[in-house]
A and B are shown apart, each in its own frame.
Chain A
Amino acid sequence: MKHTLSDNLSVTPRESLYATIVARIDMEKVRHARRQFGRLVSGAIASFVLFIGAVQYATLQFTQSEFPQYLSLILSEKTDLFNYWREFLYALTESLPLLSITIFLGAFGVMLFFIQKTLKNFGSVLPHATLIS
């Protein structure tokens, strides 16, 4: 029987090859997910450390500012405050350590982001689980 060149060059792979390829890709997915999980855990730890630093900084800035003194007037000078509530609010606002508050909120947001991503991807590091992006 004559064969064309195309017939001759066509080769049938073993039936198991498809399953082997799919299994190999599944393994790669789990490896990729584990690497990603590792990066997220590192990010979560780093962001937690950053958050602690931000809390300490904010605490220091608050104690060094006049904000606690103004705030304590609410308890000691209630009547005067009622008469001069606008001036009191301005003074309270001006004394706020805004930079440390911004840093605190930013660090808190970053930490929440990493914790959320880490928890979401925890399942994907197990075999036969799909990666959650």
Chain B
Amino acid sequence: MNKSDQDIITEYLSGNEIAFNELIQRYMTSVYTFTYGLTHSVQDAEDITQDTFVKAWKNIKKYDKKYTFKTWVLTIARNTTYDFFRKKKNIPFSAFDNTDGDNVLTAQLADEQPLALEISVLAEDKDILDTAIEQLPPVYKEVISLRYGQDLTFEEMSVVVKRPLNTVKSQVRRGLIALKEVLRAPK
């Protein structure tokens, strides 16, 4: 039977040095997928993934049980990616900090699943969808990656990206709309 993340962390903190490796195996693909979605560079995504797990290992004693480990490690991955972009200075930091404001009406947004399905229909293949996503602003790429790449709930996403819940919902919907527009645009 698979151990829970909590059990593995407890085991690691009790002295089992290799227990942490199981967490790496579980979440390496998630972290890599997320960072690749933002950087679109294999080398950069690998470097950031390594840095993320090193930071997670260093700070494992500070891990707060009220969040899932996945949420926590993706938060580290996000912050590490931002630091990486700041050092490279090729993407303005403000692009990630665009909160779009708090809009109470967006709390009433309809389920975004029909939009996601529509996009799957519009995109003829994976490469076309990949190219379209690449054209989105970083803030939309980030939330779409977390929602559909990592299967996070809106609440978990709100924790990772440190933005209000309604803002995150709004950004996912706007991101999907923007993606649909890109796919519909004449080639």
Secondary structure at the B interface, as helix, strand, loop or mixed, is helix
Check if B119 sits within 8 Å of A5, measured CB to CB: yes
Cβ of B100 < 8 Å from any Cβ of A?
Answer: no
Tell whether, in the assembled complex, residue A17 and residue B46 are in contact, meaning their CB atoms are under 8 Å apart.
yes
For residue B49, which residues in chain A have a CB less than 8 angstroms away from its CB? 13, 17, 21
Nearest-neighbour CB distance to chain B for A22, whole angstroms, equals 6
Task: Report the bound CA distance from A131 to B119 in whole Å.
Answer: 51
Chain A interface residue count, Cβ-Cβ cutoff 8 angstroms:
26
A75 at interface (Cβ–Cβ under 8 A)?
no
B29: contacting residue among A3, A8, A13, A133, CB under 8 A: A13
B53 touches A25 (CB 8 A): yes
**B126 interfacial by beta-carbon distance below 8 Å:** yes
B125 at the interface (CB under 8 A from A): yes
- Return A130 CB to nearest CB of chain B, in Å: 5
Q: Are A17 and B54 in contact (CB under 8 A)?
A: no
Known: A3-B125, A9-B145, A14-B42. 4 other contacts (CB 8 A): A5-B144, A21-B50, A22-B24, A28-B54
Binding site for B on A (CB under 8 A): 1-14, 17-18, 20-22, 24-25, 28-29, 130-131, 133
